[in-house]
Amino acid sequence: MDALAPRFGQVRAEITAACQACGRDPAGVTLVAVSKLHPARAVVAAAALGQRDFGENYAQELRDKAAALAGTPLRWHFIGALQRNKARLVVGTAALVHTVDSAALVGALAQEARRRGLTQDCLVEVNLAGEAQKGGCAPGELGAVLDAVAAAGGALRCLGLMCIPPAAPRAEDSRPHFRRLRGLLEEARAVPRPHVDLRELSMGMSQDFAVAIAEGATLVRIGTALFGERPPRQGP
């Protein structure tokens, strides 16, 4: 845990430098600290350094950590693959669900949001390279998923797009994918839809966040560079 302060300082400095290099205001980039598989005390330690936004990949782990840290002013982001039957674990707990990728998932989240009497903010994940093992809708399906959000009557609100580019040796390899996601955001903005207000781009991880910022990221999801290597996942 002792290493946390310098790591957070380093990443924040790199975010600021990446913004300055392309003339962006660092206030326009939110650092989402990806705490998946790290214990709740790592989140507490990061929160003590002023970190507010945390990302989790597993619905149960999100629910448990959010419960353990209830009463702290943290914003949780759900960034993992989401099964419809886990919607109840994330709705209302996650300030933002980054991984909505089908009309069916929109339906499950909207149903739970209605039951709880709240509006759930979300992003649509786009699978840009057609990778079968990854979540995300195909670029050609984006319009239909946004239509489903619009049809949910305010139970959901879509604020932007998210992507995870193919793993690649160089950060520069991610650039065309980030650029394409931004292009898809701009195209989709040209079609006005109720409850769809596209202004966020969730893109960039430890390896490539500086490139993502240059291409317009507003949310960067960083785990390893902040918390170190993740412990292995136990159980389901």
Ligand X SMILES: *Cc1c(COP(=O)(O)O)cnc(C)c1O
| Residues written for the chain | 236
CB of 79 to ligand X, least distance (A): 4
Give SS3 for 23: coil
Q: Which residues of 84-115 are buried (b: 16+ CB within 10 A; e: fewer)?
A: eebbbbbbbbbebbbbbbbbebbbbbbbbbbe
Which of 112, 223 has the CB closer to ligand X? 223
| β-sheet bridge partners, residue 55 | 34, 77
Pairing of strands 53-56, 30-34: parallel
Q: Between 155 and 165, whose beta carbon lies closer to ligand X?
A: 165
Binding site for ligand X (CB under 6 A): 34, 36, 57, 79, 164, 205-206, 221-225
The least distance separating ligand X from the CB of residue 192, rounded to whole angstroms, comes to: 29
Nearer to ligand X, 79 or 156 (CB): 79
Using Cβ positions, the residue closest to ligand X within the complex turns out to be 223
CB 128, CB 165: distance < 8 Å: yes
Closer of 20 and 224 to ligand X (Cβ): 224
How far apart are CB 89 and ligand X at their closest, in Å?
Answer: 17
Give the nearest distance from C-beta 150 to ligand X in angstroms.
25
